[in-house]
């Protein structure tokens, strides 16, 4: 009897430890970060193949190519995120969207450069 009670208490303690590790961060949406207020946030809706940084095959994470392109045009990026999914577009033309958005936080002096390549202020 004591062994059964001990086993149940042990299993309950183990379960509570596992559940405690799974608590999500408050005020966060899946795939999104809290947007910081320093700098200016801009967003770009990814297209099938008409993005200003061109075809990106260096990394499955296209955010690397976005950051490289912005660095090439002398834009200082403080932070960058990607949101949305590529859950199967209806339109496969180059100018059609993929459903993902790139969000970047840049210096206020760089906003005009970033707006010129198709980003929009958030």
- Show the domains of the chain with their CATH numbers: 39-122 (3.30.70)
At 112, list the tokens: 């005009």
Q: How many CB atoms are located within 10 Å of the residue 44 CB?
A: 20
The pLDDT value given to residue 92: 82
- What value does the mean pLDDT take over residues 10-35? 46
d(C-alpha 112, C-alpha 46), whole Å: 19
Helix (H, G, I), strand (E, B) or coil at 29: coil
Whether the per-residue pLDDT at 112 is higher than 90: the answer is yes
The pLDDT tens digits of the residues spanning 4-20 come to: 776 777 665 554 454 44
Whether the per-residue pLDDT at 73 is higher than 80: the answer is yes
Backbone torsion region of residue 64, taken as left when φ is above 0, otherwise alpha when ψ lies between -120 and 50, otherwise beta:
alpha
β-pairing, 97-106 with 77-84? Answer: antiparallel
Whether the per-residue pLDDT at 102 is higher than 80: the answer is yes
């Amino acid at each position: 009897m004591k062994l059964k009670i001990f086993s149940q208490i042990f299993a309950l303690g183990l379960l509570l430890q596992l559940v405690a590790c799974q608590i999500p961060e408050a005020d966060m949406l899946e795939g999104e970060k809290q947007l910081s207020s320093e700098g200016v946030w801009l967003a770009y809706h990814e297209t099938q193949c008409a993005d200003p940084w061109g075809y990106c095959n260096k990394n499955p994470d296209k955010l690397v190519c976005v950051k490289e392109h912005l660095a090439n045009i002398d834009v200082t990026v403080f932070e960058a995120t990607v949101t949305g999914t590529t859950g199967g577009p209806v339109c496969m033309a180059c100018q059609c969207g993929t459903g993902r958005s790139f969000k970047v936080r840049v210096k206020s002096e760089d906003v005009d450069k970033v707006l010129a390549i198709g980003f929009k202020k958030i």
